A and B are shown apart, each in its own frame.
Chain A
Amino acid sequence: MTRKISLFSLILVALIAVAAGCSDIKREPGRVYMPDMAYSRAYETYSVTEAERDSLFSKYGAHFSNTPVPGTVKRGAMFPFLLTKDAPGDSTNYVASKAVKNPLTSMDTVEAERLYLVNCAICHGPKLDGNGPLYKDGSGPFSAAPANLTGKAQYTSMPEGQMYYSVTYGKNKMGSYASQLNTQQRWMVIAYIKSKQAAGKTGAAAPAAAPAGAPAVAKDSTK
C-alpha cells in the first residue's frame, strides 16, 4: 500500500512540476522546417552578417543604416534648403532663414494635416495650442512646454523660413525632424500651420515682429 501511495504522489509531484515549469513566455522563436527559407540569406533591411558586424559598426556607428550622399538630390524631390545648421551659440543662419519663402504653391491639405497630427501634435497639440498629450498642461512627461502655435504672437508672426529652419535642425528641446519628414513634407507641415494660424487669427492686429531667437519653450502663461 505504501508503495502505491509513494508511486502515486511521485506522479502527482511530477505533473505539478511539469505544469509549473512551462509558461507561455516565449523568448526564443522556436524551430522552423526550413531555416534557409524562413531567415533570408540575402541582405534585408537591418540585416548584418556576423562576420561583418564589428567592422561595419565601428565604421558607421549609429548611422549603420546609411544616409544619402551629402549634396545629392533625389529625382523628383524638391530643391534642398541651403542654410546650414548654426554652430552652438551662433544664430546667423537662424536669422537669415527668415527670408526664405515656402516654395510650395499647392499641396494636399489632407496629407499635410496627417503629417502634422502624426509628427507634431504629440507635443504641439492637435489644435496647435502647444498642449499635446505629452505635455498636458504640465502634467505629462515632457517637462518643457511646447510652442503654442496659435496663441502666441511670437509664433503666429514667425516667418515660414524660420519655422522651416527649426523643424529641420531642431530648436531648444525640439529635435530635428529631417529624418522623419522630407523637404516637401516639412514645407507642407509649415503651410498647414500657417493656414491654421490664419484661420485662428482674431481681429487684433498682429505684433510687428517676433524677437529672433526667443525661447521656443517658454512657459505658456495663458494656460
Chain B
Amino acid sequence: MLPVKEIFPQLYQQTVNMIYHRPVVKWLRSHILLLSTLILTGNGLYAQDGHALFQANCASCHSPFKDVIGPALKGVSERIPDKNLLHEWVHNSNKVLASGNAYFKGLYAKYNTPMTAFGSQLSDPEIDAIIKYVETAQPPGPPPTANGTTPAPEEDNTLLYGILTLILAIIMFVMLQVNSSLKKLSDDKEGIPAHEPIPFYRNKVYITFGILVLFIVGGYFLTEGAIGLGRTKNYQPVQPIFYSHKVHAGINQISCLYCHGNAWESKHATVPSLNVCMNCHAAINEYTQGPKLIREDGSEVNGTAEIEKLYSYTGYDPKTGKYTKPAKPVEWVKIHNLPDHVFFSHAQHIRAGKVQCQTCHGPIQQMDEVKQFAELSMGWCINCHRTTKVNFPDSTGAGNKFYSIYERFHNDLKSGKMDSVTVESIGGTECQKCHY
C-alpha cells in the first residue's frame, strides 16, 4: 500500500502544514475549537487573558525572556516569592523603593528607569494572570538549524482536546449505531416485530441535530464575518522588499522614530525615503548575523538578496560605493488604513498622549512581516479614549497642559472663585461651534 504522502501529496502537505504551522494552529484554536472548548470547560482562557494584559500594559518595557527597558520577567515569582510585595511594586513602585527594599533598589540602579506605577489600573488577580502568563510563556522558536528543518511545534493542548472531542463524538456515533443494531437483534430474537430500519441520514433525530450544529456554526461565522467586514485586522500583505521590523527595531534596537520621524511632528508616521535606508545600508550590505528570516507561509528569505533589492531601487553599487543607476521608488503596501472621515494624528497621540507605538501597532519589534495588530474600529478607538486618563500637569509643570483650563475651573469652583462655568468658558462662542 502506498503511503498517504504519495497518494495525496497536496493533502499530506496541508496536513503537515496544519500541524507545524503556527498561524493555522492559532486559527484552529480560535475558530473550530471554540465550540469544543465550550464542552470541555474554559481551559486556557485565563492564561490568554494574562497574555492580553501583558501585551497591553507591560510589553512596551518588558519581555518575558529578555531584558528590555526593564528586566526579563520570566522567573519573577521565584525571584520575588512574596506575592504581596510584587503586587505592591506594580501598584506603586516608588513606595517600595522608598521603603528601602534592597532587591528593587538594585534593579533600579541597574536599569535606571523607574517602573511605571500602575496604581489601581491593574487589580491583584490581573497581576497574577500576567505572572501566570509570563511564567508559562515559551520563547519564540530558536532560529531553525542549518539543515533548514522546521522548529518543533510548541505544545498546544487545545488542539489535543479538540481531537479528543472529535474522537469522542465519533465513538458516540458508533455506539449509537451499535446500540440500535443490538436492539434490533434482541427484538428479532424476542419476536417483537421490528419496524423498518431507518438509515442514520434519514433519522429525524440525527437530521435535527445536524441542522442545529450547522445553524450554530454557520451563525457564528456569519456574525464574525459581518463584524469583520471592513476591518482589516491581521492584514499582512507581501511587501516589495522583505523588510523585517524584528531585525531593525528588535535586534538592532533602532528607534521607531529614526525612520518614522514624522510621527513626532505630523498626522502621518510616513514611510522613510530611501536615503534613510542607505544611512546604514551603505555599510551593511549583507545579512549574516541575525536569525533566519522566514515568511509567514514558511519559505525562507535570503536577507542579503533583500538588501540587494534595496540597492536596485536606489541604483547603488555596493562594490564601488557609488550611485550609478537612476533610482526608483519602492511601492510599499499600506497596511493601516483609516476611512476618509476619520481624523487621526500620530503627533497628538505620541507627544501629548504619550502613547507607545506598540499600543496600537502591537509587538512590532517582533514582527518579520508587519501585520495589522489592532482592529482600528471605532469601538476600539473609543474604548481606549474611555479608559485613558488625562495626564494633567503636576507640580513641576510636566504633563499635558492642553486641558489645564478644565482643571482650573475645577479648582476655582472648589475654592469659590467661580460659582458656575458658562458655555462660553468652554469654547461655546468659538465660530466653529456653529459654522463648520
Contacts and interface: CB of A to CB of B under 8 A. Distances in A.
A141 B275 contact: no
Contact of B280 (A26, A57, A142): A142
A177 B279 contact: yes
Contact of A179 (B254, B275, B284, B290): B275
Contact of A38 (B230, B261, B314): B230
A45 B268 contact: yes
Interface in A19-41: 19-34, 37-41
Interface stretch (B37-45, B128-136, B233-241): B233-241
A117 B327 contact: no
B221 to A, nearest CB: 11
Contacts of A180: 258, 261, 276
Interface residues of A, number: 54
Contacts of A65: 273
Interface string A42-63: 1001100000000001000111
Interface stretch (A93-101, A157-165, A168-176): A168-176
Nearest to A140: B252
A187 to B, nearest CB: 17
Mostly, the B contact residues are loop
B155 to A, nearest CB: 19
A176 B279 CA distance: 7
Contacts of B289: 140-141
A122 B255 contact: yes
B282 A173 contact: yes
A208 interface: no
Contacts of A64: 329
Contacts of A28: 235, 237
A29 B232 contact: yes
Contacts of B297: 25
B178 interface: no
Contacts of A40: 340
A62 B327 contact: yes
A152 B416 CA distance: 63
B273 A46 contact: no
Nearest to A133: B253
B131 to A, nearest CB: 28
B279 A30 contact: no
Contacts of B91: none
Given A4-B199, A33-B230, A19 B28 contact: yes
Contacts of B258: 118-119, 122, 180
B275 A176 contact: yes
B14 A45 contact: no
Contact of A46 (B14, B228, B271, B282): B271
Contacts of B271: 46
A123 B253 CA distance: 11
Nearest to A119: B258
A172 B244 CA distance: 26
Q: Indicate the size class of the contact surface on chain B.
A: 35 or more
Contacts of A109: none
Interface in A109-162: 117-119, 122-123, 133-134, 140-144
A122 B254 contact: yes
B274 interface: yes
A173 B17 CA distance: 44
Contacts of A39: 337, 340
Contact of B283 (A16, A22, A122, A143): A143
Contacts of A87: none
B328 interface: yes
Contacts of B339: 37-38
A199 interface: no
Contacts of A77: none
B373 interface: no
A17 interface: yes
A33 B229 contact: yes
Interface string B294-321: 0011000000000000000110000000
B74 interface: no
Contacts of A16: 11, 15, 18
Given A17-B14, A23-B23, A134-B280, A30 B228 contact: yes
B32 interface: yes
Contact of B328 (A19, A57, A143): A57
B253 A173 contact: no
B199 A118 contact: no
A21 B14 contact: yes
A143 B236 CA distance: 32
Given A16-B15, A119-B258, 17 more contacts: A13-B11, A20-B17, A21-B14, A25-B236, A25-B297, A28-B235, A32-B229, A37-B340, A41-B340, A45-B270, A61-B327, A61-B329, A117-B255, A144-B283, A173-B282, A175-B282, A180-B258
Interface of A: 4, 7, 13, 16-17, 19-34, 37-42, 45-46, 57, 61-65, 117-119, 122-123, 133-134, 140-144, 173-177, 179-180
29 contacts: A17-B14, A20-B17, A23-B17, A23-B21, A23-B23, A23-B27, A24-B23, A24-B24, A25-B297, A26-B234, A26-B235, A28-B237, A29-B235, A30-B232, A30-B235, A31-B229, A32-B229, A34-B230, A41-B340, A62-B273, A62-B274, A62-B313, A63-B273, A64-B329, A119-B255, A133-B253, A141-B290, A174-B279, A179-B273
